[in-house]
Chains A and B, each alone.
Chain A
Amino acid sequence: MGVLSMLPSNSGVISGEKVFRNDVFKPISLDLLKQKPDVQIEETDIESVVNDNIRILDLIRLPERFDRKAIVTFLEDLIRKDFENDPLHKQAVELDKYAKDFHRYMQRYFDKIFDYHNKLKEDLLGYVFGASNFYLKSDFPPSFARTLTFSLLTECRFIDLYNRKIRRERLALITNYNNRTKFKRVCDIHNSWVDPLSSAIERITEMRVGLIWYVDFTHSKTLEEIFKPKKLKKSLLDEEYFFGMLVNIQRETYQFRRALVNLSKETFSTFPSREDPTVNMLCSVMETMSS
């Protein structure tokens, strides 16, 4: 495996955010809402109303001259005409259709986001493994592995937080789907917290990839060697430049984590096991801080 293939170029959670952001910016222009829903009167609707009326008639004593079958046919015609001329019914059907589609599409849309994020996290953890392997087989300083893996695990934190936040936003979007002002407000709030974080994580990703490129290029004599596995040696690097890159990534990661904490301290309170008293203590620190 070449060094370049170890870390993501610039895909990742960012593209996921953009998909979401673009869509929520133009909620009303979603295809499903543009299409005029089919408002044909459903036979089942008529049958249901007829049955309701027949049930009422069964409760009262009717003169014998009325045939039950004739009543049903008569009511069916009446209700059909009534439905056809009733603008409120059309509207109700239309809204019902929107609501059904909206819930269905929103649900599917968010499920896809969560699924994508789970895969993304798996990838990031794979990169943590990759970075650890490069470090193990090199004579690089431990700060190389620490910086790379810490920024990758920070990105995992971001995804956790992102998922947690959009779960709440999804609910708000569904609740307010028929209120354009409120819907837009939910979108605006989403964009206001996502934009600065996504640009920050994009910067960190670029710096991380830059570091890997630098290491790979300095260990390659020809372009063909770039993607090939190689033993990494500290002596081939310009130490000052290399450590400068590490420090820059560390600084950006630190600032990013601070921004994440400000957004949601609770995301930082997920620890592997609370059986351990030390872990439990640290958890408590975080829980207390976030309470």
Chain B
Amino acid sequence: MSVRKPVHFFLDMCILLPQALDVSAKSCEDFLKEAGESCCVSSSVCSKVSETLDKAHDWVAKEIQENLYPYLEKHTIDRLTKRDARIFEGFFNERRRRLGAIRSATMHYEIIRRVELWAVTHIHSIELGKKISAEIFLTALLAELSKVYESLKAPLDTIKVKEITPKEEIKSHVALQGVRNLEDIDHLASAIQFQFTNDIWVVFVTFDEKDILSHQRRLLEICALSCCKPHYAMDYSRDLSRQEPPIQYYASITSKSPQQKSFARTIETLLSVSVI
């Protein structure tokens, strides 16, 4: 009797980013508490999250450097008092408005929210009648931005990263199931490749309804990859752990559809495993 290997959870980028809704955050938290040790990310997801975070930091830093600082200089506001909080309200509202043009700006919003809160709290904490240098205040704001960036980056350091370069042929099969976003194709293909290379069941955990979960059924049927939201992940894990390992499972499908046959041939050729 073969030993059943534990199910691995591959996390999508959205799981590692701040959640817009409390419900989603709770769902992530509960799942991660339960399955933390079995969670990992593919190198493609890791680099994408890192890149997103870098971009968000750089965008906010640049806005402070190129817009807020010159604005204060232009209006000769070289000192700030307790009553100047609304300068920041105007600045950050305008940044939010501009973020509408940026795709996947969750991280931008999160960073703005935190540094804005810091700015307002500290402006309000200035003693009545006292003034502080605007330059010093903006410098401290940038320093706070660095701390926020570092703290958001920390979870990435702790998660196991699987170095995977997904094969083009596997990516094609993912695309054939309807996934259009190139980055998502990379993440899903990495999970599939890991699953069949190691003969371990993988559950791809995501919130992405539009690009991934809408193709959930086809990804499972053709590529044998389970995708779900975090709150269902443990149910998937339980069911998969009762099944035969992926290679044996795929080989046991008696009447394969043409698409399944094509996928099986790809896996056989690329990974030298027998699934037909």
- The residues of B that contact A129 with a CB separation of less than 8 Å are 139-140, 143
- The residues of A that contact B139 with a CB separation of less than 8 Å are 129, 132-133, 136
Cα–Cα distance between A73 and B153 once the two chains are bound (Å): 76
Q: In this assembly, does B39 line the interface, its C-beta being within 8 Å of a C-beta of chain A?
A: yes
Instruction: Please tell me if the beta carbons of B58 and A143 are within 8 angstroms of each other in the complex.
Output: yes
Cα–Cα distance between A145 and B139 once the two chains are bound (Å): 11
Instruction: Please tell me if the beta carbons of A268 and B29 are within 8 angstroms of each other in the complex.
Output: no
Instruction: Please tell me if the beta carbons of A128 and B18 are within 8 angstroms of each other in the complex.
Output: no
* Candidates B57, B65, B151, B158; contact of A290 at CB < 8 Å: B158
Instruction: Please tell me if the beta carbons of B158 and A145 are within 8 angstroms of each other in the complex.
Output: no
Contact with B along A266-291 (1 / 0, CB 8 A): 00110110000111111011111111
Instruction: Please tell me if the beta carbons of A277 and B22 are within 8 angstroms of each other in the complex.
Output: yes
Q: In this assembly, does A141 line the interface, its C-beta being within 8 Å of a C-beta of chain B?
A: yes
- The residues of A that contact B155 with a CB separation of less than 8 Å are 268, 282, 285-286, 289
Chain A proximity of B275: nearest CB distance (Å)? 33
* Candidates A136, A146, A153, A284; contact of B64 at CB < 8 Å: A136
Instruction: Please tell me if the beta carbons of A284 and B149 are within 8 angstroms of each other in the complex.
Output: no
Cα–Cα distance between A286 and B152 once the two chains are bound (Å): 11
Q: In this assembly, does B93 line the interface, its C-beta being within 8 Å of a C-beta of chain A?
A: no
Contact with B along A139-155 (1 / 0, CB 8 A): 10111011001100110
- The residues of A that contact B28 with a CB separation of less than 8 Å are 281, 284-285
Contact with A along B146-168 (1 / 0, CB 8 A): 11011111110111100000000
Contact with A along B7-36 (1 / 0, CB 8 A): 000000000101100100110110011001
Chain A proximity of B146: nearest CB distance (Å)? 4
Number of interface residues of B (CB under 8 A): 43
Residue from B25, B69, B110 with most neighbouring chain A CB atoms (10 Å): B25
Q: In this assembly, does B268 line the interface, its C-beta being within 8 Å of a C-beta of chain A?
A: no
Q: Residue on B with the closest CB to A156? A: B150
Chain A proximity of B148: nearest CB distance (Å)? 9
Q: Residue on A with the closest CB to B22? A: A277
Cα–Cα distance between A133 and B110 once the two chains are bound (Å): 23
- The residues of B that contact A167 with a CB separation of less than 8 Å are none
Q: In this assembly, does A257 line the interface, its C-beta being within 8 Å of a C-beta of chain B?
A: yes
A277/B149 contact (C-beta < 8 A), A133-B139, A145-B61 known:
no
Q: In this assembly, does A265 line the interface, its C-beta being within 8 Å of a C-beta of chain B?
A: yes
Instruction: Please tell me if the beta carbons of A146 and B157 are within 8 angstroms of each other in the complex.
Output: no
A142/B58 contact (C-beta < 8 A), A277-B25, A278-B110, A289-B159 known:
yes
A135/B150 contact (C-beta < 8 A), A145-B142, A281-B25, A284-B29 known:
no
- The residues of B that contact A287 with a CB separation of less than 8 Å are 36
- B interface majority secondary structure: helix
A146/B57 contact (C-beta < 8 A), A129-B143, A133-B135, A271-B151 known:
yes
Q: In this assembly, does B89 line the interface, its C-beta being within 8 Å of a C-beta of chain A?
A: no
Q: How large is the interface on A (under 10, 10 to 19, 20 to 34, 35 or more residues)?
A: 35 or more
Cα–Cα distance between A285 and B18 once the two chains are bound (Å): 11
- The residues of B that contact A271 with a CB separation of less than 8 Å are 151, 154
Cα–Cα distance between A139 and B159 once the two chains are bound (Å): 35
Q: In this assembly, does B37 line the interface, its C-beta being within 8 Å of a C-beta of chain A?
A: yes
- The residues of B that contact A281 with a CB separation of less than 8 Å are 18-19, 25-26, 28-29, 32
- The residues of B that contact A142 with a CB separation of less than 8 Å are 57-59, 61-62, 65
Chain A proximity of B249: nearest CB distance (Å)? 29
Within 8 A of A (CB), among B190-231: none
Contact with A along B52-70 (1 / 0, CB 8 A): 0010011101101100010
Q: In this assembly, does A170 line the interface, its C-beta being within 8 Å of a C-beta of chain B?
A: no
Instruction: Please tell me if the beta carbons of B146 and A128 are within 8 angstroms of each other in the complex.
Output: yes
Q: In this assembly, does B138 line the interface, its C-beta being within 8 Å of a C-beta of chain A?
A: yes
- The residues of A that contact B145 with a CB separation of less than 8 Å are 132
Q: Residue on B with the closest CB to A257? A: B157
Residues of B within 8 A of A (CB): 16, 18-19, 22, 25-26, 28-29, 32-33, 36-37, 39, 54, 57-59, 61-62, 64-65, 69, 110, 135, 138-140, 142-143, 145-147, 149-155, 157-160
Q: Which 4 A-B pairs have the closest CB atoms?
A: A288-B36, A149-B146, A132-B142, A142-B58
Residues of A within 8 A of B (CB): 125, 128-129, 131-133, 135-139, 141-143, 145-146, 149-150, 153-154, 257-258, 260-261, 265, 268-269, 271-272, 277-282, 284-291
Q: A143-B54, A146-B146 are in contact. List 19 more A-B contacts (CB 8 A).
A: A129-B139, A129-B140, A129-B143, A132-B146, A135-B61, A136-B138, A138-B65, A139-B65, A141-B62, A142-B65, A145-B142, A146-B149, A149-B143, A150-B150, A279-B151, A280-B25, A281-B29, A284-B32, A286-B155
